[in-house]
Structures are given as C-alpha cells and as structure tokens.
Structure 1
Amino acid sequence: MNPVRGPAQPELGPSLPEGVRVRILRIAHGDRRAAAELASALTERQLTGLDPLPAQPPVLLRAYRQEVRALPDTTRRLLLLAAADQHPVDTHAFLRAVTAARLDTRPLVTAEVAGVAHATAGGVVFRDPWTRTAAYETASVTDRRAVHLLLARVLRGEGESPRRSWHRGAAALGPSRRLAAELRAAAHTARTAGDPALACALVERAAALSPEPSERARLLARAAADAWRSGDTDRARRLVAATDDDALGGLLALRAGNATDAFDALLTAAVRYADDGQGPARTDHPQHAAVHLLARATEAAIYTGDLRRCREAAAVADRLGIVPPGTLGGLAAAFEGRYDDARDLLKAAAGRCGPGGDPTLLIHSGIAALMLGDHTAAATATVRAAASARAGGDGVIVPQAMEFRAYADFWTGRPRAAEAATLEALRQAYTTGQDNGACHLQAALAMFAAVTGDEDVCRERAEAARSYALARGLGLPAALALFALAFLDLSTGRFAASAARLRALAGFGPGHGHRAIRHIATPHYVEAAVRTGDTRVARAAHADYDHWARTVRSPDDLALSARCRALLASGAEAVEPYRTALDLHASGTRDFERARTELLFGGALRRLRHRTEARDRLHSALEAFEHFGSPQCAAAARTELRVLGEPVSPVRGADDLVARLTAQQLMVARMAADGATNREIAARLLLSPRTIDHHLRGVFARLGIRSRIELVRLLGEG
C-alpha cells in the first residue's frame, strides 16, 4: 500500500478557495490524503491564496524515505539514476547511462517486489512522484553528483545540450561563473525552443551558482518569468519574492492579486524600462518592454473598472514618447467623453489582429473590437491570441484570451457551445494560479447559465465571482456577475429585481459603474425599467448609449438603441423604432438579441391588435430561442402566442433529452450515467456537490425516473 494513502481518501475543506484547492491537488499529484496533509500545514495567507504554495511538503516524504532506505544499495543507486533522469528535468538518458556505466539492472526486481518501481523497455516507472523524490533525496551528495555527471556524459545528441548543461550544473559543488554562464545560454536555447519550464530550471540553477548577488537577483527574476510562462505561478511568486522586479510582480498581481496594486507596479516598471532599460530583468529592447507593460497596466484598469487610471497611463506614455498601446488610448478618450477619438483609436487597435502577433496585443484587439460592437473581429482576435500564445510557449495566456472570447460567443448566440470551452479555460486558469482570470470566467459562465435557464448554476457561479472580485477590487467580473443575475431576473419576469441590479451598472456619465458592462446592461435596464414604470434614469442611460452607438456605428448597438426608443415610446409610436431595430439587426451578429427584439415587438403588435404580424414575429422568436437553448425566453414567446389564441406546439422534441434538460443538467446526467459520483462531477464542473445533487434531482424529475440505473438505460436508448 502507498505509505501515505490509507483506506479512505479525506476531502479538502469546503471553505478552501477553488484555485487553492486545484493547485494543492496539483502539488500533491492528485493524492487527496497528501493534499489534505499539505493543506493542514499551510499558513492562513497561503490558504486564502494571498501567498504562494510551497514546492513540496517535507512532512509527506517521511514514510517514502523510510521505504526507500530499506532497499539494497544497488537497487537504490539504480532508482537514484532514474530519479535524476526524470525530475525536475526529464532527460531520457537512463538506458544510455546504464549501458555506459555497465550497470546490472537485475536489482530493480527488488524494487518491483517492494512495489516501489518497476522496469520497462523505456526505463524505470516509479509508483508515484513522491517515491521518485524520496529516491533522489535519500541519496548522499556524492552519489547524486556521480549520477548527474554520468547523465551529462551520455547526453551528446542533437538538441540535448540544454539537458546536458542541467546535469553539469546539478553536479556543481559550489559557485561557478563558467557553469552559470553555460546554464544561462542553455536556458536561452530552451526558451527559444518554446520550453519555459526547462528554461526556468536552468536559469534558477544558474542563479544558485552565480557568485554575484546582483546577478543572482537578475537571474531569479528571469527564472520567475519562465516559471510564469510555464504555468507554475506559485513557483513564479516564490522566485519573484527574492527580487525587486516590479514588472513581473505587477503581472502576477494582475492575474492573482490586487489589480489596483498591479496597475501601480506595472506603470512604475514601464517608466524604469523606458528611462534606462535597467530593470531587474534587463532587456535589449527596453522601449518594447515598456510598451508591453503599459498594455498590461491598461488591463489592470479594465479589470478594476477604474478607467481614470487609463488617463494616467496615457499621460505616462506621452511623457515617454510611446504611442499608447492596445486599448489604452481609446479607453482614455472614452473616459474623457471624446467618443470620436475613442472610436478611431479603438478601430486602430482592433485592426492590429493579424495571425502570429503578440498575444497580449491581440487580446487588446479583441477588447477593442468588443467595445466597437464587432463580435466577429473580437472572436478572430482572441482565437489568434490563444494560437499565438500556444505557438510561442506562452500557454499561460490562453485562459485570458478565452475570457474575452466568451463575450463574443455570448452575444452571437452560442452559449451551449461556448460553455465547454470556457469551463476548460476556467480549469486552466485555476491550475496556473490565475485566480483573477478564473473569477472573470466564473462570471462568464454565470452569464451562459442565465441564458440557458440554469438558475442554480447561475447563482452559484455569480456568487463565487462576486465574493472573490469584491475582495480583490475586480470591478469587471463583479459587474458581469451582477449582470448575469439581472438577466436571469429579467428573463423570468422579476422585473423590479432586475431593474434594481441593472440601475447601478447602467449609471450615466464617467466614473459610474464599468463601461464595458454598462454597454451590455443599458438596453436590458431600459426594458426592465419600462416594465416597472420607472423610466427617468433609463432615458438618461439610453441617451449616453445612443451617443456611443451613433459614434461607433455598430449595427448591433444601433439596433439595440432603436429597441430602447421603441420601449420608451407609447402605443403605435413604438412600431417604427422596432422595425428600424430589426433592419439593423439583419446587418449585425447578435442573433440572440435579434430574437429578443422580435419577442418584444411581437408583444407590442399583439397589444396593438396587429395579430398576423405579431404571430409571425413571435413564432420567429420562439424558433430562435429554442435553437439557442434559452427556455425562459422561449416560454415568454409561448405565453404571448397563447394570449393571441394561437395554438402552440409542445416543447420541441419532447422525447429528445437535449430538449427536455438544460445544458448543465444534460452534462451532469451524462457524467452520472458514466459512473461518476456527485463529488467527482462537482470537481469536473467546478461546482459544489450540493448543486450537482440538485441537478440530478431535476434530471430524475424531468425524465420521470428514480435511479441512476434508469438514467443509464434512458441515455443509452437516446
């Protein structure tokens, strides 16, 4: 039996933040008992995600070390060689080393009998990563040095020089300028080849061997940057703590800390790089680095919602003689009310979305396109950002690209298709320690759930996003989560509750709410306000929205502005604005909003007793809502048709599971039918077990069954 595992697997505490829970399990290699022991040894700041997690908990290795020490010396030496060959750098040289040293591999049978490891045609497979670590750490320094030198000696193939350098550095007895220089060069080779994890290991070892403190700090900053690029944010945070690197510290705060602090650090670093290029992680292109840091500072302002800071960053760019990068210039102009300038600057940013570009600037192109109402361009830019990040070894940026891709997917009416991709991005964000990005993705998933009628999921995800966002000063995800709840209220007829939530988001004038969410919220706030009879603030909010729509000339925004005019009109005066709205929708991409406009127009026509056209509009809306998988909106269309006396067909495909279940219920049902427990389903979907239990009850009720056995049969037949 595994010495750490017992007969039962304990669970991590339910109050543990999801990002911390995911990373603890990653450090513990999926072993829940080891994860529980690790969690019990963490500080309060580590448990809340404020401080990085440790590399490995020594207390967990005691039993493994005892087991390895009980093996014969010849067996232990072979296990040491295999462990050094595999971790932290996998060099694939074990068999060559065995041949070169003419070692007898028969002692590995003892390890196999003990259940510690077993030999294969490709080398040694350890029972688990903890055993491998123990095999290395129980060896003497002399023995470790000997196996590293042996491995370095056999690594002579093409492209193996970085790994050979790693073993040479690992065998060093003390500081060495020559070896540190060799490791730096090897790290550059690995970095260029798109292997930031290897580069991090090499440059961190170079730092340990460097005799100069200033050079050591610079190398640690470089190692931290490589750790970040490899997705190991905890390691990056541990390394950067030993430096005074404002740039990387600001980036880490942007993705996992306080976004206001991130803005200050990134702006300070941009000035230092532009002035003299002598930041802790010096670069041959300080001006380029300053541009990149200003773009990141802009993101910090976007996440906080404090767009006043964009003016501050734009002023710094102007002083440094730098053209404001990405969305910076456009956001600063929009905040100052210079909408014409904002439009031109955002169009320029949105146009810089060619394939293979800088992933950060491509994300800015996507954000700019979203602000201009061009969702096709936004989707293209964010997809290219993710592809460019993967190609350049910057996979850690992919979840951020997906954060903004989610908006385009939502408005073009693809919530079901987008949910799976966004959920995968959420997992990546948690795994790589980007809890701020995960918060934004949680809010996006709440938005999808609101459209597809999963009320419990919407509320759970929105609450998770808002509680985290408010503690970290993240205005964007907090506002988006609130919008999701407001849309849910609006689509289920709770108009007063919806208006109350939307009123703050649609506030008029600079400094009120979050501009990006204000553009999403205003048309819905006008609808909710009209339903409740309180239109004073809604008219002011619409006036500003209309000003922006006319400035950017987006067909979708102009269509929604016309819909607002129709809602604010009375009687027959509303007909023409509704027709204008539908004509504009025909040139846009927001098909879901077109369907909602048809629903509202159909209701207005019914009240005006234009029965034939009302019936046609409502049937068109109903068909669209069923296609989008939006049951509440489909129910509203059916209700209007019944009032007309129009016979309404039952829910489309009543015998089809896809039609009878919500998107989340169908996903849960399929996982349950495959044998997953409630807790396993909850872990996969990043929801609470209580919500999964509620979903399964709903599935059983809708399908008229009582057990998982019946569910398996029914899904098999379907």
Structure 2
Amino acid sequence: MRVLRLVHGDPRAAAELVARLTGRQAAGLDPLPAEPADLAPETLRAHRGEVRALPDGTRLVLLLAAADQYPVATHAFLRAVAAVRLDTRPLEVAEAAGIAYATAGGVGFRDAWTRIAAYETAAPADRREAHRLLARVLHGPAEAPRRAWHRGAGALGPSARLAAELTAAAARARAAGDPALSGALAERAAALCADSRERARLLAHAAADAWYSGDGDRARALAARTAADALTGVLALRTGHAGEAFDALLAAAVRAARPHPARGGPQRPAPAAPAPGAVRAPSPTAHLLARAAEAAVYTGDLRRSPEALLAAQQLGMEAPGVLGGLAAAVDGRYEDARDLLEATAGRCGPGGDPTLLLHAGIAALMLGDHPRAVTATVRAAAAARARGVTAAVSQAMEFRVYAEFWTGRPRAAEAAALDALRQAYATGQDNGACHLQAALAMFAALTGDDDLCRERAAAARSHALAHDLGLPAALAQWALAFLDLASGRFDAAAAGLRALAASGPGHGHRAIRHLATPHYVEAAVRTGEIRVARVAHAGYDRWARAVGGADDLALSARCRALLSPGADALDHYREALALHADGTRAVERARTELLFGSALRRLRRRTEARDRLHSALAAFESFDAPHCAEAARAELRALGAPASPVRDHRSPTAQLTAQQLLVARMAADGATNREIATRLALSPRTIDHHLRGVFTRLGIRSRIELVRLLADPADE
C-alpha cells in the first residue's frame, strides 16, 4: 500500500520499486526511497524520453505547468501565462501525443510520472526561471507561503534571507493545519540555510511535518539527517522499536521544559484559543509526556509510568493524559487511579487537541466506559483530520475498535479496523498496523473464522515481539485463547490465558491480562484449576469494586457464579445480568446468559434455562458469532428444546461477515485474489478461503453470479 502511494498508483513503477528494495526496506526496518529517481528510475526514464521527443515550445509550457503543480500545488499557471504572454498553442502537440491536455485551470497531465518527467527533464536554469515567474504572479497574504516556495525553488544557492522567508511561511502553513506544505517549505529552507545548527532544526521541522501529513517514509529519511529526541521517540513508537520510544520522549520532554535554541525537537504550535467548551492543547512538555505515556501503553511496560510522573513533578507541571492513572494503578492505588482516569476521560469535548482526546478515549476504555471511549476517539480522529495530522487518524481508530467490539458491533468494528489498517500501512505506521491486526484477530475469533484469526494473530505477534509491542502481542494471544474458549477447547484456552498472564512487557500487557481475566476464570474452572481461578478473580474483583463500572462488576459476579457450587451460583448469575443491564458490553452479557442457561439446565430448571439460552443464541446470531451460537444450540439440544435460527435473511449478503462482504465486493469489482490480498494485508490463500465461504453461504458457483448478486438493488 505504501509502495503504491509512493509511485502514484502506477503498477509498473510499483513492481520496479519492489524489485529494488533492500531486505531491511522490505521488512519495514528502513524507510522506502523518497525521490522519484530512486523510486522507479526505469519508469521515469521512459517518461522522460517521451517528453524529450516534444518540441522546445511544448516542453516549455509543460515545464511551467509542472512547476505550478509539483511538488507544491500553487494554481498560478494561467496568471503566469498571461503575465509573459506565453504562447500555449504548442500544447496541442502534447495533446496529440496523449501526454497532457488543456483544462479550465491550466494543464492536466496523463499521470503523475509524466508531470514529474516534464519538470525534471528541463535544465536547472529553466526550472529556476519557471519558479521565479510563478512567484511574481502570486500576491496577497493567503498566497505568501506558496510565493515563498517558488522564490526558494528559484534560488541559485544558499540565502539567509530566503531561508528566513521560507521558515516564516512554513510556520504560517503549520498553524493553518497544512503540514504537507509547511514540511516542503521547511525542507527547502534547510537547503538554503548555511548555518548547520539552524539547518538541523529546519530538517527536524520538515521531518515532523512529513510525519503529521502521513508521509512516514520521508519523515524517517529526514529524521536520519538530524537528531531530535521528540521525533525519534514518535517514530520509534509508531514505526520502529517501541521500547526505545519512552526514553527518547522523556528526554525530549525535559529538554522542552528547559529550552535551548540549538537543541530539542520540533513541536506543533497550539491553536491561539480553543473553541468554547473545547479542551486546551497541552504545552510541548505535556504533549511529550503524554507521548511517553503512550509508549508505556503500547509496550506494556506500565512500571515506567511513575518515571514520567516523577519527571512531571520535578518540572513543576501537572501530569497529562492517562499518565497519573497508570502510575496509580501500577502502585495498586485503584481508587486514585479511578479518579485520575475519570478526570481524563471527561476531557472529550469537541474541537480539542487530538492527543488529549485520544488519552480521554484510552482512559474511558480503562474504566469500561465504552460510549465515552467512542465519543473521544471519534472526536480525536475528526480533530486530527481538521488539523491535517493524518498520522493521528488511524491511531484514534485503533482504540475506538475496542469499544465497538464489546458493545456488540463487531462487524462495524471490523470494517472500521480494516479502514484504519489501510491508513496505518499507507502512512508507514507499522506498529499501529500491528495493533489493528491483533484487533482483527479478535474479531475473527468472535465471528468464527479460525484460519483468519490464526493468520492475523501470527502476523501481529511476529511484528509485536520484534518491536517490543506488548499491547498487540497480548491482544493477539487473547484472541487465540478466546477462539479456543468459544470453540469448547478449554484446556488450550486455559493454557493460552495462563501464558498471557505470565508474559512481561514487550510480550504481554497488564491491561489485556485484566480484561481477559473473566475468560481465564471460565477456562480454569472448566479444567478444574479452581485455586488459580480464585486468585485471578480476587485481583479482578478488587479493581471492579474500586472503579464501580457496571460491566466489570457484572463480570466479577459471573466469576463468583462459576466458582460457586450448584444452586449457589444462580444468585450470582442473576446479579451479573442485573448489572449487565446498566452496562454496554453486549458480547459479555450474551456469554453470561449462556453460562447461566447452562447452569440452570444442569439443575433441571428447564423453563428459565430455555429462556436464557434462546436469548444468548439470539445475541450471538446478531453478532455473527457462530462458535458461541453453536454452544447455545448444543445446550438447547441437551435440554430437548428447539434452537430456532434468528438471522435476518432478507438480504443474501446479510449472511456474510464484514470481511467476507469486503472480499466479495472487491472480487465483484474485478480484483484478483492476489490484488485483494495485497490491499487487505492477507495471504492469497486466505482470500481464496474467504471466497469459497462466500460462494457457499450465497449458494453460488462463480464470480459472474457474484457480480449479478451484488448488483441487485435489493442488496444495497
């Protein structure tokens, strides 16, 4: 996906680039090339040959049009043509050759590579003259950044005056929420700057802007030319070895609190004044401490949170985000943790800083407040889009999917996760993609796709263990254990959850271990490990009582029911369901009903058992959770009661999972299995498995029938 984006969607250039990648680049350890000549030289050479075959006058018109569009779009071509009375009739030759064409706004190129070739084929002096002409026709404050760009591109050599102009223009573009433009301006300013320290600072700004705008490869390439702890930490957290992120971010926070003109990484300026009711953007130091807290969350090394908290206290500032709550939880001060997390979760007003909103969502998830988690993460993504911080959008979605999943919307969560996965890969956020792969493994476990669950979990764990990512490693392990639990493989589930509980930072995660405890208790009871089940439940119950969340208390009551003999369990199950009624974890409520119905059946309370089991079956059918649904049917068969299907069959495609429907639509659009696999980051074998499942569920035999079925308006 990153390859296609870098080569402007050209499949021939993509094939050429893939063949040229080093082993480290192919593994994501080194950034992909950033310059056209390094991406696909043969493709560029072929396009240059076409341009060179054109008359001089045609190449001149194309050069001016290309300079107006690449790499910064300025929309000044027509004004420049009018200013020098340039004859545009030579463009007809390019139109006849199919290379370019006239448009209402100037010139359109056949493709991006033709535009690049039209620019790079020209002599350097001609390119500089084109930029100077475009600069002359750009006027007014709104066009000042683009005017500065052309003035800088038209410079013959280093210029302190032009570097200062470009630097100021970059700051204005950055404040206006256009990091792509500000990054281009800062990089050009660095090229014109003679002072090495100032040049390093400008390159750090350009790298940060490239990251914010979603160009992770360029950010990493630029960052390699400078030394900025802040950027190094962010890149390590999102695309490198996450274990190195905490130290870099903490060092950057301390440095930001004691500014030095020649040191420290770039920070995005906060808005001048937030909207009424909106949260205020954090200071640079607070922002970096918040990022350090994220590093602790992703790696699972929550013991390091107190270090960042101590640094905040020494710097005389309030600890931001979830940092204080994490530190209190690590110390076992659950009531303090609850209060601190509640305060953080409450900062989810619209129009706020994306980082604060993301932390509000994480805090809400830790409290089990899923509606507020959805609100905070959706607003974090919206705020990131509004500010041009593309890289933060998929990160917000990583945490939204937890809430969507447990509240009984696994298909919606899966679709959102797949979209975020594509964004993460496209923007070079491989660690975020790993987290989403693990979440998708959990969705596959619930929806009964054993092969997909194992493939997603294996991919997530492989990357996570190599990059010190305890959160996705633990989530993937939980997904495999949940698949075993839902399928009735209790010994395997207990072993997997026991391994999860024993895994340390980089391999496991305390929060995931906590969330998985009710499943561990269930699996341990089923395998006769009552003592360890009681120990696990005791810790979970302490947190549940401290936080007071309805679902946590409900799950603790369910654990007590599992640990109670015979009829003594029934009141605990009733308590659990009463608490679930005030909660939001619909998936766990259905599982509580299944376990309650099973207990009632064994006690020969047939009528109540039938009602509970039918309710659980209906819920699992609505979640498209076949393994859990089959367990409910098995209990009903043992009871001698009919198990009526409740799935909505009004639309044939309603029988498909979200993953199957996505694959089906791509196949119907003409994509091959390999093309679908590339776009979804899966293997062709898995896509073949999905299509066979689609054909079976829909009762069809060919792609032609699939096209006809999906074209039916009744299925839209």
Whether 1:216 aligns to 2:199 is: yes
- Alpha-carbon shift at residue 588 of structure 1 (Å): 0.7
Shift of 1:672: 2.5
**How far has the Cα of 1:96 moved from its partner?**
1.5
Larger CA deviation: 430-439 vs 208-217: 208-217
Q: Determine if the alignment matches structure 1 residue 23 to structure 2 residue 2.
A: yes
Matched, 1:50 2:29: yes
Checking the alignment, whether the CA contact within 8 Å between 1:454 and 1:662 is kept in structure 2 is: no
Hey, what does 1:353 align to over in structure 2?
348
Q: Is 1:161 paired with 2:140?
A: no
SS in 1 for 2:35: coil
Q: Please list the CA deviations of residues 581-606 of structure 1 after superposition, one character each: whole Å capped at 9, or x if unmatched.
A: 01110111111111110110000000
d(CA) in 2 for partners of 1:620 and 1:287?
Answer: 47
1:503 equivalent in alignment to 2:498: yes
Q: Distance in 1 between matches of 2:159 and 2:309?
A: 45
1:309 alignment partner in structure 2: 304
Of 547, 552, 568, the match for 2:542: 547
2:210 & 2:298 partners in 1: Cα distance?
Answer: 24
In 2 relative to 1, CA 502–374 (structure 1 residues): closer, same or farther, beyond 3 Å? same
Partner in structure 2 of residue 619 of structure 1? 614
CA RMSD in angstroms comes to 2.1
Cα pair distance change 1:442/1:56, threshold 3 Å: same
From 150, 155, 159, the equivalent of 1:172 is 155
Alignment of 1:287-302 (within 5 A): 288-302=283-297
Greater Cα offset, 178-187 or 578-587: 178-187
Aligned residue for 2:29, secondary structure, equals coil
C-alpha distance after superposition, 1:50-82 (max 9, x if no partner): 111111352232222222222111111111101
2:243 partner amino acid: T
Q: Report whether the alignment pairs 1:599 with 2:594.
A: yes
Q: Name the counterpart of 1:75.
A: 58
Correspondent of 1:138 among 121, 128, 135: 121
**1:420 and 2:415 are equivalent in the alignment:** yes
Structure 2 distance, partners of 1:277, 1:302, is: 30
After superposition, the Cα gap between the structure-2 partners of 1:683 and 1:648, relative to the gap in structure 1 and judged at 3 Å, is same
Query: Equivalents in 2 of 1:457, 1:247: separation in Å?
Result: 37
Equivalent residue for 1:201, pick from 176, 184, 189: 184
| Distance (Å, rounded) in 1 between the aligned partners of 2:506 and 2:266 | 37
- Distance in 2 (CA, whole Å) between partners of 1:238 and 1:348 is 39
Q: Is the 8 A contact 1:450 1:487 kept in 2?
A: yes
SS in 2 for 1:676: coil
Work out whether 1:117 is the aligned partner of 2:100. yes
> Equivalents in 1 of 2:163, 2:699: separation in Å?
69
Deviation, structure 1 residue 654 = 5.5
Deviation at 1:684, TM superposition (A): 3.5
Aligned AA for 1:605?
L
State how far apart, in whole Å, the 1-side matches of 2:451 and 2:694 are.
14
Q: 2:215 aligns with which of 228, 232, 237?
A: 232
1:273 Cα deviation from its structure 2 partner: 1.4
Match of residue 185 from structure 1: 168
Hey, what does 1:647 align to over in structure 2? 642
Measure the CA separation in 1 of the matches of 2:156 and 2:208: 26
Partner of 2:672: 677
On the 8 A contact 2:231/2:266 being kept in 1, the answer is no
- The answer for the alignment partner of 2:250 in structure 1 is 267
**Greater Cα offset, 207-216 or 572-581:** 207-216
| Corresponding residue to 1:693 among 688, 695, 700 | 688
Alpha-carbon distance in 2 for matches of 1:609, 1:544: 33
Answer yes or no: is 1:431 the counterpart of 2:415.
no
Counterparts of 2:297 and 2:503, CA distance in 1: 18
| C-alpha distance in structure 1 between counterparts of 2:705 and 2:222, whole Å | 53
Cα displacement string for residues 640-684 of structure 1 (whole angstroms, at most 9, x for unaligned residues): 111111122246346752454333223323332343322233233
Query: What's the counterpart of residue 329 of structure 2?
Result: 334
Instruction: Check whether the contact 1:598–1:620 (CA below 8 A) recurs between aligned residues.
Output: yes
| Partners of 2:183 and 2:207 within 8 A in 1 | yes
Which secondary structure state, in structure 1, belongs to the residue aligned with residue 206 of structure 2?
Answer: helix
For 1:232, give the aligned amino acid.
Answer: D
1:131-175 CA deviation, whole Å, 9 max, x = no partner? Answer: 211211121122112111111111125611211111111111111
Match of 1:517 among 498, 512, 519: 512
Cα distance in 2 for residues equivalent to 1:671 and 1:89? 33
Q: 1:105 to 1:656 in 2, by over 3 A?
A: closer
Q: CA deviation at 1:508?
A: 11
- Do the aligned partners of residues 596 and 394 (structure 1) sit closer, same or farther apart at CA in structure 2, a change above 3 Å counting? same
Deviations 1:197-238 (CA, angstroms, capped at 9, x unpaired): 111111111111112111111111111111111111111111
In structure 2, what is the Cα distance between the partners aligned to 1:624 and 1:650?
11
Q: Which runs of 5+ in 1 are unaligned?
A: 1-21
- Check 1:639–1:272 CA distance in 2 against 1; reply closer, same or farther (3 A cut): same
Compute the TM-score of the two structures, normalised by the length of structure 2. Answer: 0.94
* Distance in 2 (alpha carbons) for counterparts of 1:312 and 1:73: 65
Structure 1's 274 and 681: CA in aligned 2 closer, same or farther, altered over 3 A? same
Residues 693 and 513 (structure 1 numbering): CA distance in 2 closer, same or farther, change over 3 Å? closer
Structure 2 residue aligned with 1:38 = 17
- How much has 1:118 moved relative to structure 2? 2.0
Q: In the alignment, is the contact (CA less than 8 A) between 1:243 and 1:280 conserved in 2? A: no
In the TM superposition, what are the counterparts of 1:505-584 in structure 2 within 5 Å?
505-507=500-502, 513-584=508-579
CA contact (8 A) 1:38 1:57 kept: no
| Aligned counterparts of 1:427 and 1:243: Cα–Cα separation in 2 | 29
Asked if 2 retains the 8 angstrom alpha-carbon contact of 1:506 and 1:541, the reply is: no
Counterparts in 2 of 1:541 and 1:508: CA distance versus 1, 3 Å: farther
95-104 or 556-565, which deviates more? 95-104
Q: Secondary structure at the match of 1:118?
A: strand
The residue type paired with residue 23 of structure 2 is E
Aligned length: 697
| Residue-by-residue CA offset, 1:320-373 (whole Å, 9 max, x unaligned) | 222221111111111121212212221121122222222112111111111111
1:505 CA drift (Å): 2.5
Name the aligned partner's letter for residue 582 of structure 2: S
Contact 1:657 1:666 in 2 (8 A): no
What letter is aligned with 1:243? T
The whole-number CA distance in structure 1 between the counterparts of 2:45 and 2:647 is 61
Task: Note the C-alpha offset of 1:477.
Answer: 0.3
- Take 1:158 and 1:325, find their aligned partners in 2: how far apart are those partners? 36
SS at match of 2:258: helix
**In 2: Cα distance, 1:54 partner to 1:282 partner:** 23
Matched position secondary structure for 2:567: helix
Deviation at 1:511, TM superposition (A): 11
The Cα of 1:295 is off from its aligned counterpart by 0.8
- Partner Cα separation in structure 2 for residue 178 and residue 392 of structure 1: 29
In structure 1, distance between residues paired with 2:6 and 2:508: 39
1:451-487: CA deviations, max 9, x gaps? 1222222222111111111110101001101111111
Equivalent residues of 1:508, 1:544 under 8 A apart = no
The normalised TM-score by structure 1 is 0.93
Contact 1:259 1:301 in 2 (8 A): no
1:661/1:24 CA distance change after superposition, 3 Å: closer
